[in-house]
Structures are given as C-alpha cells and as structure tokens.
A and B are shown apart, each in its own frame.
Chain A
C-alpha cells in the first residue's frame, strides 16, 4: 500500500493506494499517530483503495474518535467494494463519506 501525505496548515490529506489489511494497517496507524497532532481537518482519499479489512476499519474508528475531539474527518472517493464493507459493518452511519 502507498500512503501519500499532504499537509496544509491544520488540514491533512492522506491518499491511500492498494489494500488496507492486517499487513498494511499498522503503517497507516503509525503514520496517522505521528502526524495527527493539531490537525483540524483530516481528509482520507480512497479513490485508489481496493480493499479494507477489519484491521483497517479499526484504524478508521480510532481516528474518527480522535478527530471528533479536535476537528473533523472526511472520507472521499469511496469505491463500491469499500462502500459495501462500510454498509455491512454499519460504518457508513458513523463516518462522514463524501
């Protein structure tokens, strides 16, 4: 999985490419943990994300909880497969998906 970070003041955009699963999730987690301090608007671009596993969902959930306290989190360009997973797991209700 390739993670591209773009920081603009207090807003941070992460573009994810590939599969977010048990193997790659820890990298996203440490990436987020190191750069999320002081961010008020977090944008996750899922245009090139092929697959998300429960390990990936766990990071979305913990990140959402952090962002609830310090600003907002938006997920963009979610494809059909990933959206299905969000729907089935009920994540669609708690995430802001554009």
Chain B
C-alpha cells in the first residue's frame, strides 16, 4: 500500500516537471528565434541606411565607366578615401562595389579589404538573390546572414548603383558584423532560462501542493479508510467525512461510505442468518434426540422376560425421520409390535410420526381388536391432517401363552416370517394407508407362532435402498440375507441386514429412513 502511494506521488511530480521543462524550452526557443530575427533586421537596416548615404555621395556614371575600363583614376582615389572614412566612422565591416557575372563570380570595382579593381571572387552564397537585385534593383527580402572563419558573422545590405539614366551599373554591398548578436543572444537565453527555471520551480511547488491538497490527500484518506475497513473487521471510521472537495472525489468518498454501510448491514444479516441456522441446527439436534428417545432403545428391552427376544433399529436419512417402530406390553401376556412409515421426511414427517405413534399406543388396549384400533386411529389422524400426509403401518399383538399373533396392515410392507427353518415373506391382505381417507375398514388377521418362530418387519427404506447404479436393494436380497442368518439372535439378524444394505449401497447417499424390527418367540408363557 505504501509503495503504491509513493509511486502515484512520483508519477505526478515527474509529469509536472517534464511538462514545465517542455513548456519553458519551447518558449525559450521561440523567444530566441524571435529575438535574433529582430536583431538581424535592425543590423541589416543600419546597412541600408549607410548604403543610402554612400549612394548619394558617389557618381553612378563614373561607376558605370569603371565597369567598362576597369582602371582607376583621380575620382576613384577620392571615392576610395571617402569609403574608408565612412567604414571607419560607421563601424561597418566591409564596403565593396561589385558586378555579378554569369559564371557565379563577381568582379570588384572597389573593395575595402584588399581586392583590387577588376579582381574576381566567387559568390559564396545567395547567388540567385544577388543576381535578382542586379536585374531588378529592388531591395531584397533576406538579410544575407552568413558565417565564415575568414570574415566572421555577417549580414549584407545590397543596393543597386545606378547611372544617371537609371540603369543598374553595379551593386553596393555593406556588410555589418553581428558578433554582438551572439553575445547578446547568449545572455538573453541565459536570462530567459534562469527566469523560466525560477518560475518552473515556483510553479512546481505551487502545483504540487495544490495537487496534494485536492487530489492526493483525499485519495490517501479514501485508501486508508478502505484499508482500515478491510483489516479491522469492517469497523466504520469517520475519516471520509473530511473530504469536502465538492467534486468527483467527494462523490467517490460518499460511494465508498455507502458501500461500507451496505457491507456492514450485509454482514449483520449474514450473522443473523447464520445464528438462526445454528439455532435451527441445534434444535434439530435436540429433536433427533427426542425422537430417538421416543422409540424404545434400551436392549434387552425386557430382561426378565424369557418368552421372547426383541430388537429394533432406526437410521433416519435426515436429522429426524418419519419412520418409527414400537413395542410394548398390552397386558401381562400380550406383546404389541408396531412398524410404520410416514410419507415424506424431515420435521413434518417427524411431527406426524409422533401423533401416529402416540395414537396407536393409546388405542391398543386389551380386548380391543386391531381392526378397531386402526379404524379409530385413522379417523383421528384424518382429522388432524391438513398437509395430506399418510402413514403406512403394521401392528401385531402376540399372545405369549398361545402363540396367537393378531395383526393389521395399513398399506405397509409384507413381514418376513421365520417358520420351519426358513424366512418367508408372509402374504397378507393390505389395507389402505392411515390418514389417507376417513372411515376405512381394516380387517384383522391371525396366525399362530410356535416357539422358535421369528417375525422380521421393516420399512421401504430397506427394500428401496439404492446404490450408485440406481438399483434397488429389493425383496430378493433381503430374503437371501435373512435366510443366511436365520439361526442367529434378533439383534444379530438386524445387524447382518444393515451391513448387507451398507455394502450394497456403497457411497450413494441414503434417501430414506431405514428401520427394522425382529421378534423371536422363544418359549410359551405359562398361563396363570
């Protein structure tokens, strides 16, 4: 975070300095060009002023004559003296009178620096422009600025020398030294650069503080605020309120503040929901305990009864299940067993199961036929069944003295009966499920158990346990495992079936409650 901020600072500072350097360089260069141009023009004009004075003094006709004769005379000597005088007095570099020739050279009539009349010298530069003046006699536009080791830094003023008829006879050159320009320009550039860099430093400092105030400081506040918020368990700080810039940054700060408030609300909401979920989870946990403790779960259940042995188990698919089993003594010689399955799963099924289980146990009374029990229970369940649920149930009552086993079936699975050394599904006429429709008649059946016989009852969670290939466990596998363990005790038989189901299902999830009950009738009870 720290490095990032510094780099933003650096970038801004660097770009400001760069911009200022570019602006001042450009302005220096433009100023330099403008200035040097003005200076040249001034010097050049001085040359023309001098030239005009000279032209008034010298005789054009005589000059025209020299272009024919190329010899000196008395007038020439007078002129020479005069021109030298002028040159010395005016400070002009060179004054000379020439005739440009076609071969790129010029022929001297007069020269102040050593050339004699009639001498040739090449025109080093501006040949075309020189010729143009010679032809038209007009003042040229350029300043003929040139620099050479021999003559130095010069500007030339070129004027036509005309005879009395107005014909151009020769050209008068007045060269002016411009060495002074160089020194003036250097001092100008130095001064300009100094002023520029002074201004630049001032501007940089000023702009830097401005940027810091209006840009970097608010950004730093927002950054710090967001950093604190993220690393401080979403605690809100009031630093964002300081940003009152009235621009986009204030808007950004407001947005960040709004976002943080939304996050806080969201966190509170999630915490509430999580707490609620945990509470429901805890309650479901308690419900699981209550439900499992409603089913008789202490084995051996009747340690002082030698006439029978009973064992049962339930494994709910969810926290609470809809399956239930029950067994209880109706009176001293009658044992009732119940196996039931509420349609659906979870809390609704569990609640309905509690009603069903209680009603069945309450209505199973000595001397009351099981058909009547289910008729009454069914009507009571129908009256309190707004959700369209139903219960498949099987109930049997064993007379421990006679071995007579009365049963009633409300749409439940067929029980397995162990008789004559073999488990077999016992075909009984099904009745309609409990709580489905009012006033259903249930018929009671009777069979007789001999000592050593067993009854195995279960719910559809057993036969419909499904493996990863969507195959059902089924009656045949149940039949096989029961008969493979038929000689064993009830609890061992149930454990064997459970193990067999587990190995069949493998890793596939359990969809339905798995509930089983096994009763062995061991010896007859002696009648009092």
Interface residues of A, Cβ cutoff 8 Å to B: 21-22, 51, 53-55, 57-59, 61-62, 65, 87-91, 93-94
Contact = CB atoms under 8 A, between A and B. Distances in A.
Nearest to B437: A94
A54 B341 contact: yes
A8 to B, nearest CB: 27
Nearest to B464: A53
Nearest to A50: B470
Contacts of B464: 53
Contacts of B260: none
A89 B511 contact: no
B344 A54 contact: yes
Contacts of A58: 343-344, 388-390
Contact of A88 (B342, B411, B436): B411
A88 B390 CA distance: 14
Given A54-B343, A54-B460, A55-B343, A89 B388 contact: no
Contacts of A59: 388
Contacts of B437: 61, 65, 94
Main secondary structure of the interface of A (DSSP, over half): helix
B390 A57 contact: yes
B343 A94 contact: no
Nearest to B341: A54
B155 to A, nearest CB: 102
B382 to A, nearest CB: 11
B514 interface: no
A61 B436 contact: yes
A65 B438 CA distance: 11
Contacts of A57: 343, 390, 433
Interface in B440-482: 460, 464, 472
B410 interface: yes
B445 to A, nearest CB: 14
Contacts of B389: 58
A22 B436 contact: no
B392 to A, nearest CB: 6
Interface residues of B, number: 25
A61 to B, nearest CB: 5
B107 interface: no
B345 interface: yes
Contacts of B430: 87-90
A12 B437 CA distance: 24
A22 B344 contact: yes
B47 interface: no
Interface of B: 341-345, 388-390, 392, 410-414, 430-433, 436-437, 460, 464, 472, 511-512
B278 to A, nearest CB: 26
B371 to A, nearest CB: 14
B392 A89 contact: yes
A38 to B, nearest CB: 21
A91 B411 contact: yes
A59 B512 CA distance: 18
Contacts of A61: 388, 390, 433, 436-437
Q: Which are the 5 A-B pairs with shortest beta-carbon distances? A: A89-B411, A90-B432, A62-B388, A54-B343, A58-B343
Contacts of A21: 511
Given A57-B433, A61-B437, A88-B414, 7 more contacts: A54-B342, A54-B344, A58-B343, A87-B430, A88-B430, A90-B431, A90-B433
A52 to B, nearest CB: 10
A35 to B, nearest CB: 18
Contact of B432 (A22, A54, A62, A93): A93
A88 B432 contact: no
A70 to B, nearest CB: 16
Contacts of B388: 58-59, 61-62, 65
13 contacts: A22-B344, A22-B511, A53-B460, A54-B392, A57-B343, A61-B437, A62-B388, A65-B437, A88-B413, A89-B412, A90-B431, A91-B433, A94-B436
A21 B464 CA distance: 11
B394 to A, nearest CB: 11
B379 to A, nearest CB: 15
B431 to A, nearest CB: 5
Given A22-B345, A54-B344, A54-B460, A90 B411 contact: yes
Nearest to A23: B511
Nearest to A90: B432
A89 B344 contact: no
- The interface centre, meaning the residue of B341, B392, B432, B436 with most chain A CB atoms within 10 A of its CB, is B436
A90 B344 contact: no
